[in-house]
Chain A
Amino acid sequence: MISLTTGLTGVLGLAFVVLFALLLVVLRVVKEPRPGRDLRPLRAFTHLRHAVNLTVESGKRLHISVGRGEITHPRVASAFAGLSAAHKMVELSAASDRAAIVTAGTGPLGILARSTLHSAYHTAGHTGRYKAIYGQVSGLTPFSYAAGAAFTAGADDVAVNFLAGSFGPEVALIAENGERHQALTVGGSENIAAQAVLYAAAEESLIGEEVFASGAYLQAGGLHGTSLLTQDIFRWLLVVVILGGALAKLVGVLP
């Protein structure tokens, strides 16, 4: 037997998700926000785009790391955001002399990284240049992953490290090794400890949910732009609900 509270909570939760999805679709029809015009400028992405261009020109390599989020854990969402960005970046740099490398810390993410790379090369019209080895699992425990990814990040031919996914504080090892070898490091994570670490260790850090905006800022297409707009709308909604709830509690309306 389902209790009333459980049922009500479930319905409310489902309504939230359905409303989010509807708004996502509606906004897609009405307006597609674009960076620089509808999206506020983010220095990290501005630098990243510059650096990607320069990387291609200088014949160097991109390194994208999507973390070690378990595929069955919500934290993998940031890795998906990283993979979307990776798709776009690899697509842009597909003609570069040196192929982009994507590292991951779990088996499924390794598979998805390869799939994303293949798709990006295909989109760019360079399917023949894709090699499965460009998508790598660098380690299966947090620190072994960090050590492996740090090795790639510090390679001489890597000019840009883009770290977007689920990390722990060990991400500092990757960021630091990249910077030690004069590579630009841009990092973001859904993990707060990793964000704090990246703020100090990376040249550019993505704070909070900015990592989820990478697809929109890199113009990965699809629903990235509109999902950002939808998030903003819901954020305001949450602010109103939180303030309203706190006020109601203060005046004694809520028990």
Chain B
Amino acid sequence: MCGKPNPADAEVCRYCHARLKPIQPGDLPQPKPTGALEAMLPPWIRELRAESEMEEETLPLPGEKTEADGSEGAFPEGESASPEPDADDPLAALWAEEEEDEDLPDWLKSLGTEEEASAVAALAEEQAAPSAGEPPEAAEPKGAAEEEESALPDWLAGEQSAAEAEEAVLPDWLAEGVVAEPAGEPAEAAAPKGAAEEEENALPDGSVGAYQPPLVEAPSESLSASPFVESEELAEALLGETPDWLQMLAPEEESASGEKSPAEEEVAQPLTEGELPSWLEALRPVAAATSVLATDEEEPVETQGPLAGLRGVIAPPTLTTLRPGKVGVLGGKLKLSDEEERQARILQDLIAESSRPLPPSSLPDKKEQKVLRWSVGLLMLLAAFLPFFLPFLRAPLPRRVLPAAIAAQRLIDDVPQGAPVLVAVDYSPAFSAEMEAAAAPLVTDLLAKHARIVAVSTQPTGPDLISHFFAALGSDYRESEHYLNLGYLSGGTAGLYAFARHPRLVFGYAAGHDRIWNTSFLSTIHTAADFSLVLVITEDPETARAWVEQVRPALGEHTPLLMVISTQAEPLVEPYYETASQQVGGIVTGIVGGLAYEAIRGRPLTAAAQAQWGAYSNIALMGLMIIAGAGLVNLVLGWRERRNAPTLPQDEDLDDEEA
């Protein structure tokens, strides 16, 4: 047909795919296994085929996989065989969203179908975004063609054209595919179905499927790899046949292998005056229609190639396959529903977002950070240890009067001799240095009063934490003799709530004890209100809040709640003491609070406490000097960098655009 030279034994033209050897009478078509060629079919044919098969059987269910999914080989180790929708396909993602909406209870789901539709579009927006790019190092044995195929799927391609050209025409099939589709209907089937319906409309009754467009022999990968693949499908759907120029785009493999493609050869050959190249000829709709009409009147005579002069050798498309007249109605104003407009907008956003450069990253340079980290660490260590060698660097002890600590001292004084006291050792082991320093004076006072101390913890490491705490107070204090270690109270706030009201239900056993409720520590305890005092030692404001909210209400008026907290929890816990209701009767805050408590008692500070305060002060002082000094330098640098930064869209711009 095209007149290009072909090997002598070729049955089909390698350029235009026309049959070269005429079929002789008696040459009955032999059935051949064509399964292997299925993958070479263009996607739209596979979709049509799948749809027609589905129509024959039953309507597709949401999430049902069709042959057109073509995900074979996309996943390793049997994943291809899984009957799931192809997630690379945003249409499949729509199904997924459908499933996600199934997450809503039925009664809620039925309330807002419009919202569901928007959720579907929203998912499509995000689902399409990741697939828009091509992973540079694809670990999956997934065909590149499939990846690119997924980059802009059918329906998105359709929407893109609609969004880009506001005056563009939305073909009926596309409109039907989008508008007529109810929110819950499978969108996957909509596009191919629309295309099929258009073809159906373009054909007289009963002629569906009579015309088979010529198969493109190029591997489907190369076809799919073409960025025009969607346009090709669109044109095919509209015109009912593949124009030459589209066919010529297909066999790219040959170009790659060094051979000139027909298109290249055509360009290379000088054109005679007045002779149009075939691809341009194909664009002439009137001529095309005329030629179609002509074929109806008589058997065509081959005019080119080795078949020149033969009549009726190749079956031409009959009149019934093509509708004479205008090729598709492409005029008119675009009529879009709100939903379509929204989807188009989403697509625009998606395209804009994916193509928009991110603001320059402010992530730090690795080497610079390493130097900074080591410098800060060394300076802090220096600050901690120098006072041991240089006495003048020791910080003087604080002389502060803390009202909350005075209140704590009064509460401790109010505890009767030998009364039961609940102590919650409820801090993370990492904070043990600070918390032990702060709480030790209070618990020592309680022990001096022979209080029956029952210790509990909501930390999994609680039992050992309690042992460590009392061991740090002095070797004289032994478990079961001076205090009872109840151990770990599981259940978080629920556990606290239950323990405060029904402690005997929660703790039936403690390590090393058979009958804890018969011991002197717990024999009089039935609820938390039976304790004379509840002392909570914690570094976590959330834990403190849990004790206030879950346990405090069960304590009644006669059992005060006292807290020893870390400095970091002060802003959140202090209000429980400051308010008129005084849910917390007294607070000792951090090392400073412990020192203040000792000062109120008038006890001399130990050398260890002094050293701890000195190290703490010096590290904090070093930290603030580093922050102030280096921070100031970095502030200037940051401003300068921001001023000199290229005018890429900044974060605010991104937000504005999004808005």
A122 closest partner in B (C-beta): B99
In the complex, which of the residues B132, B134, B568, B652 contacts A193, with contact meaning CB atoms closer than 8 Å?
B568
Which residues on the A side are within 8 Å of B366 (C-beta)? 180-182
Question: Measured between alpha carbons, how far is A74 from B542 in the docked complex, in Å?
Answer: 9
Cβ B101 vs Cβ A221 within 8 A: yes
Cβ A129 vs Cβ B79 within 8 A: yes
Per DSSP, chain B at the interface is helix
Cβ B123 vs Cβ A50 within 8 A: no
Cβ A128 vs Cβ B82 within 8 A: yes
Cβ A124 vs Cβ B96 within 8 A: yes
Identify which of residues 45-88 in chain B touch chain A, using a CB-to-CB cut-off of 8 Å: 63, 75, 78-79, 82, 84-88
B131 closest partner in A (C-beta): A95
B85 to chain A, nearest CB (A): 4
Which residues on the A side are within 8 Å of B123 (C-beta)? 219, 221
In the complex, which of the residues B84, B135, B652 contacts A59, with contact meaning CB atoms closer than 8 Å?
B135
Flag whether B139 is at the interface (Cβ < 8 A). yes
Cβ A221 vs Cβ B87 within 8 A: no
Question: Measured between alpha carbons, how far is A70 from B112 in the docked complex, in Å?
Answer: 34
**Contact indicator per residue, chain B 631-659, by CB within 8 Å of chain A (1) or not (0):** 00000000000000000000110111011
A35 closest partner in B (C-beta): B658
Chain A interface: which size bin? 35 or more
Cβ B96 vs Cβ A56 within 8 A: no
**Contact indicator per residue, chain A 168-208, by CB within 8 Å of chain B (1) or not (0):** 11100000000111111000000111000000000100000
**Contact indicator per residue, chain A 49-92, by CB within 8 Å of chain B (1) or not (0):** 11111101111000000000011111100000000000010011
Cβ B460 vs Cβ A57 within 8 A: no
Flag whether B494 is at the interface (Cβ < 8 A). yes
Cβ A141 vs Cβ B461 within 8 A: yes
B651 closest partner in A (C-beta): A43
Cβ B542 vs Cβ A75 within 8 A: yes
Q: From known contacts A143-B428, A179-B364, infer whether A191 and B542 are also in contact, taking CB-CB under 8 Å.
A: yes
Flag whether B369 is at the interface (Cβ < 8 A). yes
Question: Measured between alpha carbons, how far is A203 from B112 in the docked complex, in Å?
Answer: 37
Cβ B84 vs Cβ A126 within 8 A: yes
Which residues on the B side are within 8 Å of A168 (C-beta)? 428, 540
Cβ B86 vs Cβ A32 within 8 A: no
Kindly count the residue-residue contacts between A and B in the assembled complex, taking CB atoms under 8 Å apart: 190
A252 to chain B, nearest CB (A): 15
Which residues on the B side are within 8 Å of A94 (C-beta)? 87
Question: Measured between alpha carbons, how far is A41 from B86 in the docked complex, in Å?
Answer: 32
Flag whether A133 is at the interface (Cβ < 8 A). no
In the complex, which of the residues A36, A42, A53, A192 contacts B130, with contact meaning CB atoms closer than 8 Å?
A53
Flag whether A93 is at the interface (Cβ < 8 A). yes
B540 to chain A, nearest CB (A): 7
Cβ A192 vs Cβ B111 within 8 A: no
In the complex, which of the residues B122, B134, B571, B651 contacts A47, with contact meaning CB atoms closer than 8 Å?
B651
Which residues on the A side are within 8 Å of B104 (C-beta)? 221-223
Which residues on the A side are within 8 Å of B460 (C-beta)? 140-141
Which residues on the B side are within 8 Å of A43 (C-beta)? 651-652, 654-655
Which residues on the A side are within 8 Å of B112 (C-beta)? 28-29, 32
Cβ B135 vs Cβ A57 within 8 A: yes
In the complex, which of the residues A29, A47, A192 contacts B541, with contact meaning CB atoms closer than 8 Å?
A192
In the complex, which of the residues B82, B97, B130, B659 contacts A57, with contact meaning CB atoms closer than 8 Å?
B130
Cβ B492 vs Cβ A72 within 8 A: yes
Question: Measured between alpha carbons, how far is A120 from B323 in the docked complex, in Å?
Answer: 48
Cβ A52 vs Cβ B79 within 8 A: no
Which residues on the A side are within 8 Å of B79 (C-beta)? 126, 128-129
Cβ A126 vs Cβ B87 within 8 A: yes
Which residues on the B side are within 8 Å of A40 (C-beta)? 659
Cβ B658 vs Cβ A124 within 8 A: no
Flag whether B309 is at the interface (Cβ < 8 A). no
Q: From known contacts A57-B133, A168-B428, infer whether A97 and B139 are also in contact, taking CB-CB under 8 Å.
A: yes
Identify which of residues 147-171 in chain A touch chain B, using a CB-to-CB cut-off of 8 Å: 166, 168-170
In the complex, which of the residues A91, A98, A140 contacts B96, with contact meaning CB atoms closer than 8 Å?
A91
Cβ A125 vs Cβ B78 within 8 A: no
Cβ A193 vs Cβ B138 within 8 A: no
Question: Measured between alpha carbons, how far is A168 from B87 in the docked complex, in Å?
Answer: 37
Cβ B494 vs Cβ A72 within 8 A: yes
Question: Measured between alpha carbons, how far is A124 from B117 in the docked complex, in Å?
Answer: 18
| Max count, chain A CB within 10 A of own CB: residue among B97, B125, B135, B568 | B135
**Contact indicator per residue, chain B 345-367, by CB within 8 Å of chain A (1) or not (0):** 00001000110001001111010
B162 to chain A, nearest CB (A): 21
| Max count, chain A CB within 10 A of own CB: residue among B87, B366, B430 | B87
B659 to chain A, nearest CB (A): 5
Chain A to chain B contacts (Cβ below 8 Å), 27 pairs: A25-B111, A37-B659, A41-B654, A47-B654, A53-B130, A53-B133, A56-B133, A57-B134, A58-B136, A70-B491, A72-B492, A73-B493, A91-B100, A92-B127, A97-B140, A122-B99, A125-B84, A128-B78, A128-B79, A169-B568, A180-B366, A191-B541, A203-B363, A219-B125, A221-B100, A221-B104, A223-B104
Q: 20 new A-B pairs (CB below 8 Å) besides A32-B112, A126-B84?
A: A25-B108, A28-B112, A29-B111, A32-B118, A41-B655, A41-B656, A49-B126, A49-B129, A52-B130, A53-B132, A56-B135, A59-B137, A73-B492, A73-B542, A94-B87, A97-B137, A142-B428, A184-B363, A192-B571, A222-B103
